[in-house]
A and B are shown apart, each in its own frame.
Chain A
Amino acid sequence: MNKAILQLKGITKTYGEARILRRVELEVQEGEFLTLLGPSGSGKSTLLRMVAGFVLPDQGQIRLDDRDVSYVPPGERQIGMVFQNYALFPHLTAAENIGYGLKVHGWTRDRREARVREMLALVGLHDLGRRLPRQLSGGQQQRVALARALAFGPRLLLMDEPLGALDRELRIQMAGELRRLHRDVGATFLYVTHDRDEAMSLSDRVAIIRNGSIESIGAPASLFAQPPTAFVASFFAGHNVVPVRLVQAHADATATVNCEGRDLRVATGLARVSGEQANLVIPRAAIALSAKAAEAVRIEVEVLERLYLGDVVEFTGLAPGLGRLVGNLDAQSLGETIDVGTKVPVYLDPARCIAVAFQDA
């Protein structure tokens, strides 16, 4: 069983009036790829820098390998870090950048050079060791930064939005590289981003951080299929979230909610509902133009927007009482065209919906 390589206990950080982090608790398993996902201002970068050692917590403890490192300087934590803008030393070649940490730790020349060659090969930059950072493209600089962080074999690698500065094609390619690196190197990767696609495709687990605390944590598939909160449903999974009246919560992880005048019994998954209100999570896949199941709920929507995306059409409709609904419709089977401004009926499949606790947006 994997043990926890990193533990954050009760981490709090305040800047003046602003509470950046509130009693954050997190356990990172050894060898996993964990992503901290959150909107800007949520505190994720601060948390990462705390783990790296550039920021000190006001309260709480950071334990690495069961050792309290909360106040240990960055260089002594044996952690590798990759910044969004690479922070490569401009006056050193790629090889010298990679070897910097090794040189500082007193590795002999031969050992260093062998290791640098190894790292260059690992990130796919075999012949570019002699180049200076300004002679490398963005993607190549990123790889040098990775190689530099991994050179002395840290057990934990921190990455602060490393793909943010790359264009879309490059980002997809680099994401694949990161997955491969993770498999090959076997270290624990702690990754910070605001991009949900990255989080979904890269991680073993995703920790969703909002307003300075971790709202949920779990495998991407689980969070997607059974979002525990409304925020996770909309921010991470991109599902529709509408407010409904809670009729009754049942003991078997289901609840009855009232939507469009009809009582629906839906699963609650990992969420807990109580009180008078709830949010109904409607995945895009739950919206169709024809009734697929007997319990399908028919709703009249006014078409606000339709975006052709190749194999799907992203469809936005306004349902009175529920608000905006976004669905992905199969482009092929979309028989007649649906114009903006017309009113069409759509069908919700309650079997794919989830009820979660009511949250303000």
Chain B
Amino acid sequence: MLIARITRGLATTVGSMALIAIIVIMMIPVVVIVVMSFAADRIVIFPPRHWGLDHYTSFVESDYWVAALRQSFEISLPSAALALVIGVPAVFAMRNTRNFPLPGLFQAIGASPLVIPSVAYALAVYVFYLDVHLTGTIIGVILIDSALALPFVLLIVGSVYDRIPRELELVAMSLGASPTRAVVGITLRLMLPGIGAAFIFGFIAAFDDAVFINFVGGPTLETLPKAIYDSLQTSMAPLINAVATILMVGTGVILSLASYWRYTLSKRSSEASDKLRVPANG
């Protein structure tokens, strides 16, 4: 009995220490980067002796880095949009068509970029692009990035759609709405937060990619992640700390927004009808 209590106490202490260690280790890279971004020393010194916004101004004034940022947006925004335009109708079609053959399989294919080993997948796309002369083209990168964003559209939009009771469309129709009006005005309208969240996740997937841009982007397309990658192989300018911090904060903000849309708004909009179930035949 006493031994059990001692081991239990020991386990709790060890456990707590392990938790603290994990928390600290996970946060160290984040903290270091953010702190270093506000450093103004000549050399890399931690903790910094001088503080300032020098790195941020260098970033904003650097043509190279600003161009990379713009390039990233020029690629990621269309990619996410394309994934939405292709994915949302597909979600509708796969769930709304009677006798759709193997919807699970088609959805799995679209979601597979999440789990296919990326180095092999990037290589495969590179070989393919060589054939069709798409290497180094912006359209080529946009296409593969939209394939990377597609899984998020399928999963998020799909799950939001499933939570909306089909009965609402029927009710709308019984009140006189045409089927199209019922679907667009009710179901689609209720799906909007989820669609927004999917766009954001897809955008981040495309924006942050450093693997595919490497294989397929060629020498001229320089996105922000690619610029960071290159600098890791050559020389690392300390202003990258500022870049990294800005990226992190930006990502954090829009991810929080996406989560808010996805979990709060989408949940709320189906909450009132959550108890709806298909009535028994009786």
Contacts and interface: CB of A to CB of B under 8 A. Distances in A.
Contacts of B8: none
Contacts of A88: 272-273
Interface string A22-44: 00000000000000001111111
Interface of A: 15, 18, 20, 38-46, 52-54, 73-76, 79, 81, 83-91, 100-101, 104-105, 132-134, 141, 148, 152, 160, 165
A101 to B, nearest CB: 3
Interface centre among A90, A104, A141 (most CB of B within 10 A): A90
A124 to B, nearest CB: 20
B276 interface: yes
Given A85-B275, A100-B172, A134-B268, 12 more contacts: A15-B281, A18-B281, A38-B282, A40-B282, A45-B281, A75-B177, A85-B276, A90-B271, A90-B272, A91-B269, A104-B175, A160-B279
A148 B175 contact: yes
Interface string B151-193: 0000000000000010110111111111001000010011000
Contact of A91 (B178, B190, B276): B190
A84 B277 CA distance: 10
Nearest to A165: B275
B96 to A, nearest CB: 17
Contact of A41 (B172, B181, B186, B282): B282
Interface string B11-34: 000000000000000000000000
A83 B269 CA distance: 18
A44 B281 CA distance: 8
Interface in B251-272: 268-272
B281 A41 contact: yes
19 contacts: A41-B280, A45-B282, A74-B174, A75-B174, A75-B175, A81-B174, A83-B276, A85-B275, A85-B277, A86-B273, A87-B165, A87-B273, A89-B171, A90-B269, A100-B177, A105-B176, A132-B272, A141-B272, A152-B175
Contact of A84 (B268, B270, B279): B279
A85 B273 contact: yes
A42 B282 CA distance: 5
A54 B171 CA distance: 10
A276 to B, nearest CB: 34
Nearest to A38: B282
A264 to B, nearest CB: 38
A52 B171 CA distance: 10
Closest 8 CB pairs of A and B: A101-B175, A133-B272, A74-B174, A90-B272, A41-B282, A75-B176, A40-B282, A104-B176
A20 B281 CA distance: 8
B269 A52 contact: no
Given A85-B275, A89-B168, A90-B272, A46 B281 contact: yes
Contacts of B181: 104
Nearest to B275: A85
A43 B282 contact: yes
Contacts of A73: 173
Given A15-B281, A43-B281, A134 B173 contact: no
A52 B167 CA distance: 13
B250 to A, nearest CB: 29
Most buried by A among B165, B268, B279: B279
Nearest to A76: B176
A44 B273 contact: no
Contacts of B168: 87, 89
Contacts of A87: 165, 167-168, 170-171, 273, 276
B58 to A, nearest CB: 47
Nearest to A133: B272
Nearest to B276: A85
Contacts of A148: 175
B176 A46 contact: no
A44 B282 contact: yes
Contacts of A15: 281
Contact of A40 (B190, B269, B275, B280): B280
A172 to B, nearest CB: 21
A265 to B, nearest CB: 40
Contacts of B273: 85-88, 90, 133
